[in-house]
Structure 1
Amino acid sequence: MSGSQRSPNAIGGSSSSHSPIPPSGSPHSKTIGPSSSETSYVNMADVDNRLADVSLTGNHCQYEYCGQLDFLPFFCQSCRKTFCLDHRSETAHHCANEGAWAARRRQAQQAKLSAGADRTMRDYVTQKPCASSACKTVVGTSLVPGVHCSNCNRDYCLKHRLREDHNCANLQPIGARSGGSAMADSAARAKSALDKLRAWGAAKKEQANKALPRPAAQQSATARMAALADLKRTAKGDAKVPAEMRLYLHVEAEAASTQAKIPKGKFYYQKDWVVGRILDAAARNLQIPNINNQSSKEEDKLRIFFVEGGRLLEFNEQAGKVLANGNTIVLLRGVGPPPELIDF
């Protein structure tokens, strides 16, 4: 008999108080495979669903120096024998097949597919140096996401993202053939788009002039001053902008390319803002979706068309140098980069 005797219980006078009988429906009342337990031994209730029979008749410990009757015995998953609480581990009963359960469990784990099984590595690397020859900054990281230039088809850091900063006009776009028919077709399409924009801008300019009062020549300046005074009185904007720094504009959204909840309005902005910042503010004013910073596709980008000047404005131009009070700007989407950069 084992040296550590346990007090008898009410059922048969043997020691079985080390573990309560698992309730019906609990994880311990289900049959468990050899590799599903964290130990080499399991309670007999987990191996044999006939828990009632085991608790009534009990099993004798099969360790040769023990033989104790136990009503809640343990089953060794290595040698397949039954033992009492004191001899349940492989070391305690000097298991004849020690380590067999651990080997089966290890083989079962190795047979499982790994988390990256059936997946291939990407054949490209997102992290790369800035395309500017004078810069060694790595773009494509969480801190420096990089900006893609759709004109030369290269990726730059934030410092060299603007075209004039990376000498874009003198770079041949990646993937383009010099002197090929593709470049000629692209230039032809750009010229056609430019002609359409100029015609559309001329019509808008004429429409804007018709909206102003048309008195006698000597009174036209006075009428225009009155119209400008009305614009300053009704325009909306950020109250924090100083009065002397305000730029009053008529802002519209072209229905053919841009869906706006507010088609047009009168707003003021700060003169020293760049055109890109005015575009963001104007998009919010007219409630137009603006994804310029989220998409590199030109058909998704919003741009500003200067009606009186008859051209698209660059994002980095200073508004106070190209626009004046009373001018009209129109928001368009998917018209491409400013055509004036293309040399026809």
Structure 2
Amino acid sequence: MTSHQETRMEVEVGEHCFFPQCNRLDFLPFVCDLCHQTFCKYHRVPSSHNCEHIDTNIISTCTLPEKQEFLFHCSLPSCKKRHVTSVVCESCEQSYCIQHRHQEDHSCPALIVAEQHSTRTVRGRPLGQPAKATGTSGVKGGSSSKHTSGKVALMKLKMRAVGLDSIPQVCSGVVAGEVDRVYFEVELPRTSGLPNTSMFVSKEWCVGRTVDYIAQRFKLKNDNHKAHAQKLCLYCEGAVLGMSHKLQDLIHTVITMGTTLTLEYE
């Protein structure tokens, strides 16, 4: 074999780089996984030889995570807002917002059960067991039991009460912990055919505004703004409440929390 033939065989060993600006002869060429062309070690990466398949490959294999909002729903039915943080009640194991995290604020069923259990005991003895002959212990126990039963009844009323969610449960800027909502049972006009309803309104409202709100919520005829029309009035134990009186002035004097009020036409 001549020297010219040997030189020709050596030249034909290897592959030329497919990159037009290179065309280097590489004895250990690399094959691109995207375009399947042969390249030298300097242009083996898809981005180094401007691979025509690099964009489509990235789009098809890479997906951006969707933006998620980590907001929580309060388990209290009357609370419609979504909150960034939540607190789990240890008793009922439900998630609540900061405003309703305490058992009293969300009328925790476990708290109601505890209150009902306390009504079955009088001064540490089971109900029905004869009391010691002290003369006054039975009276004190009866008064305590009645007070506890009233608290349980009010708590149940709060759980089913309806009203404006914008009315805060606790006043702001006044006495700490002072309740802003007034809870009551309302008897709707007999002509409406609607059952009694548990409700709450703001104690800052006057009686007239309370009447207008109830009439609007239950779509009752209300011509109180007309001079000679039949008036829709709110009664407590048969006595009509003055339209201009504020509810906070009537609490503990005329009405109490949980009082049954009657809405009727004069």
Shorter-chain TM-score: which interval? 0.3 to 0.5
Q: Scaled by the length of structure 2, what TM-score is found?
A: 0.40
**TM-score, normalising length from structure 1?**
0.31
